[in-house]
Amino acid sequence: MNLRKGILNIERLVEVKRDKGIGVLIPKINLLFSPPIKKEKVIKAIDGEVKKETLALEDLCKRICMQILNLGAKEVFVDMQAEYATTKLTPKTKQETQTTYKIIARTFGNKEKLTNALGVEVVGISACPCAQEEIRKKLNLGNKIPLPTHNQRKITTLIIENPRNIDVEELIEIIEKSMSACIYEVLKRSDEVEVILKAHENPFFVEDIVRNVLFNVKNFDLNKNSKIYVRSVSLETIHQHNAVAEKVVRFGELEVD
């Protein structure tokens, strides 16, 4: 591997033009490039692109990559991560509450080929099926009611290379429906009941979350060679350790996986 130089944690205000108006993001920008280039030139190139109209964070990534290649780099890697805020309705009382997610955009390659990637990091919850089954046996209640078990907060990441007309909201939706239940900033007591019941009616291991995400990704229109990366971290409640599952697969392999 060639020697690569980089700059980490550049923060810039980016205005993203969307159907509903202008969205403001403050991404952290990380770059690696080979051969090394003066930092001042790279930062100037970034500032020039940030000022231009931007339709999506991944488009800005690509433009910055191209500018750095024009400065003399042979290989470039650009990563951007930003907090994205949106609103959703609570499950029972339907009150509007704000939720934040992390958007991930990447571009890497050379003048011959640049690869774009778009992803999100979503936090949700899961219920442990193993403990639930043991409680079911102990109480001898069969399948009459969703039984108690211990819960985990799940941090799940989905990144797709060369996405075709995929919006971050679609990626968020895929992850949220792949977990036991969503989380909300504000919940009334009746909302809490709905969230807890849903989680315990849909218990999943951490590896199940990854499988669910990959299953739901099958509905996208992607190039068969597009790589898909899924990772889920389980923040355990009754253990000192945490659990993790991840998989990298090409879209064309999903049907036979």
SS3 165: coil
Q: How far apart are CA 165 and CA 162, in angstroms?
A: 10
Q: What are the beta bridge partners of residue 86?
A: 99
CATH class of 1-88: alpha beta
Q: Assign 3-state DSSP to the chain and report helix, strand, coil percentages, each to 5.
A: 30, 40, 35
**In 3D, which of 194, 121, 191, 188 has the Cα closest to residue 154?**
121
Burial (CB count within 10 angstroms: exposed 0-12, middle 13-18, buried 19+), residue 33 = buried
**Domains 1-88 and 113-257 belong to one CATH topology:** no
Q: How far apart are alpha carbons 249 and 13 in whole angstroms?
A: 33
Domain ranges of the chain: 1-88, 113-257
CA distance 107 to 171: 18
For residue 61, give the H/E element and its range.
Answer: helix 57-70
Q: What is the pLDDT along the chain (257 residues), one digit of tens a residue?
A: 678 999 999 999 999 987 777 789 999 999 999 998 999 999 999 999 999 999 889 999 999 999 999 999 999 999 999 999 999 999 999 999 999 999 999 999 999 999 999 999 999 998 877 666 666 666 666 666 666 777 888 999 999 998 888 989 999 999 999 999 999 999 899 999 898 889 888 889 999 999 999 999 998 989 899 999 999 999 988 889 999 999 999 999 987 55
- What is residue 142's predicted lDDT score, i.e. its pLDDT? 63
Q: What pLDDT score was predicted for residue 232?
A: 96
CATH code reported for the domain at 113-257 = 3.10.270.10
**232-to-6, 10, 194 alpha-carbon distances in Å:** 28, 27, 24
What's the distance, CA 57 to chain centroid?
14
* pLDDT of the residue at 257: 52
Query: What 3-state class would DSSP assign to 218?
Result: coil
pLDDT for the residue 144: 61
